[in-house]
Amino acid sequence: MALNKYSRIYTQDDSLPASQAMLIGSGLSEEDLRKPFVGICSTGFDGNTCNMHLNALADDVKQGVNQAGMVGLRFNTIGVSDGITNGTPGMRYSLVSREVIADSIETITGAHNYDALACVVGCDKNMPGSLMAMARLNRPSLMVYGGTIKGGDFKGQKLNIVSCFEAYGKKLNGAISDEDYKGIIRNACPGPGACGGMYTANTMASAAEALGMSIPFSSSSTAISAEKKQECLTTGQYLLRLLERDIKPKDILVREAFENALVLITVLGGSTNAVLHLIAIAHAAGVKLTLQDFQEVSNRVPVLADLKPSGKYLMEDLSALGGVPAVMRTLLDEGLLTGDLLTVTGQTVAENLADIKPLGQEQDLLRPLSNPIKADGHIQTLFGNLATKGAVAKISGKEGHKFEGPAIVFDSEEELNEGITLGKIKPGHVVVIRYVGPKGGPGMPEMLKPTSAIMGAGLGDKVALITDGRFSGGTHGFVIGHVCPEAYDGGTIALVEDDDLITLDATTNTIHLHVADTLLQLRRDKWQRPASEVKQGVLLKYTRTVSDASNGCITDLEEESHVNERETSTSIA
């Protein structure tokens, strides 16, 4: 079997001399034109700790690919830093960037007919975007995670990026001096790597490893470690094996692989953003994944890892104990993972883990099944008259399982941030942030700034928060996002008024607004969709094509795209 079955269109066809001339002009030899071409995508860019080192790692991958007898061809795509953009209008572009990343990787790999693909990725949307592209293209591929950042330190306090957001809340509350506030900012991010807790980046990296789309240890090796560099250098050997055996993403991304990923992120206490991303990756792979699948796993799998944001440890601490493979081996031994599934190593999950030592009683980061942090999963899906198509809660157990109280309603994140500053949020409130969904935001921005400010103000265990937006992996507290239908689509969340009673129950998985149906209908009759500020460009395209959160905010669901376009065109004409 020819290993250059895609690139040979350009390199071996005598009727395409211009193609060959340009390739030779770019530095390739005639011998190179007979080798497989490997596209090496980097989401590296300056000015963000998660991505600042990725171009150098991509160069290591290219070196390894060339040493394996192939031709490595590096290209770049965009990234958006969630940590930098959180709490600003720039955050509207974050989830949108997942689609741009997937589309751009698919575009250049498809257009230039690369035979295989390696993606070197760091921040939250880089990983699902790259995996979506790999599944669409379905040619030998693997993902290289740029690695987690090391924790910061200030006055003996261990820091990470969320420390900064919570310090802001403390500053508003007068609980921290300006000197200490600045000290936390200066010391929270000591160098390259993705945000250090079990936030979205580390969650999705772990999920990718459980899916079998990255080599063992990729998700837990730190960014500036010898292990990470060696991983990059050996990537070429794995890609050559995938080419020789013709192992493609859809051979790996089967239903059971997604179940393994759901089990792992539940045990680790991962980000609710994984719901959006795994549904989208599964869609690209032709696998149907729903909110009910997440709930089924949460019903039977406990939270075992004491990792931030709710716990005390960072990913670098897990790395020192054997990393994600040690967790997976522990879960495999307990019968919680399917072991006979193919991975990018060319071996099965069980074969990859055969020589890995499970985590034992010598550590307290991962609890035994007999003594879980939470007996069921932290990701809970809720349904009710406030979310007829579902909502997603992150319930660690520390904040309780039920909350009932009067609503206080804000029509934007900015309104809520002002409300916190003015002291409008009181103990017992159910805080509602709406018109921040996929279409209403647009872009479904994360609500990390307000949730962190609430924590910093000492209200974290005294209020609940619901939104049609989403949450950072760094968010904790009694929070419920992804409320669907969103307010912009006329969902019930658009009809809530101050002081309406709301009940949130993670034991019955219900979310209920205590307002009579007749009164709700009167409000609905008066409701008008607010005019969108978006008139052109990528955000307008996204608004017109994006599906709802329960479908993963996918932009290529044909049956929903036309509906969304019709609805949006009437509202922003």
- Give residues with Cβ within 8 angstroms of 332, minimum separation 6: 339, 349, 350, 353
Residue 305, strand partner residues: 366
Closest residue by Cα to residue 49 from 75, 93, 81, 77: 81
Q: Are 340 and 242 in contact (CB under 8 A)?
A: no
Query: Is 124 assigned a ligand-binding role in the annotation?
Result: yes
Q: Are 209 and 218 in contact (CB under 8 A)?
A: yes
CA distance 343 to 339: 10
Quick check: helix, strand or coil at residue 188? coil
Q: Are 64 and 31 in contact (CB under 8 A)?
A: no
DSSP string, 315-333: HHHHHHTTHHHHHHHHHHH
Planar angle of CA 204, 210, 213, nearest 5 degrees: 80
Quick check: helix, strand or coil at residue 139? coil
Peptide bond into 309 cis (omega under 30): yes
- Give residues with Cβ within 8 angstroms of 110, minimum separation 6: 137
- Give residues with Cβ within 8 angstroms of 470, minimum separation 6: 95, 272, 273, 276, 444, 445, 446, 447, 481, 482, 549
CA distance readout (Å), 204 to 122, 128, 152, 450, 496: 10, 7, 22, 23, 34
Quick check: helix, strand or coil at residue 130? helix
CA distance 184 to 165: 10
Q: Are 432 and 424 in contact (CB under 8 A)?
A: no
Quick check: helix, strand or coil at residue 154? strand
Q: Is 472 a catalytic residue?
A: yes
Closest residue by Cα to residue 396 from 305, 493, 529, 483: 305
Inter-axis angle of helices 413-421 and 161-172, nearest 10: 50
Encoding tokens for residue 468?
A: 């049609």
Residue 329, strand partner residues: none
Query: Is 182 assigned a ligand-binding role in the annotation?
Result: no
Catalytic residue among 219, 221, 319, 472: 472
For the chain, the residue count is 573
Query: HEC profile for 251-292?
Result: HHCCHHHHHHHHHHHHHHCCCCHHHHHHHHHHHHHCCCCCHH
Query: Is 553 assigned a ligand-binding role in the annotation?
Result: no
Q: Are 200 and 473 in contact (CB under 8 A)?
A: yes
For 320-341, b where at least 16 C-beta lie within 10 A, e where not — what string?
Answer: ebbbbbbbbbbbbeeebbbbeb
Could you list the residues known to form a binding site for [2Fe-2S] cluster, using ranges.
50
Question: Binding site membership: which residues?
Answer: 50, 82, 124-125, 446
Task: Give the active site residues.
Answer: 472
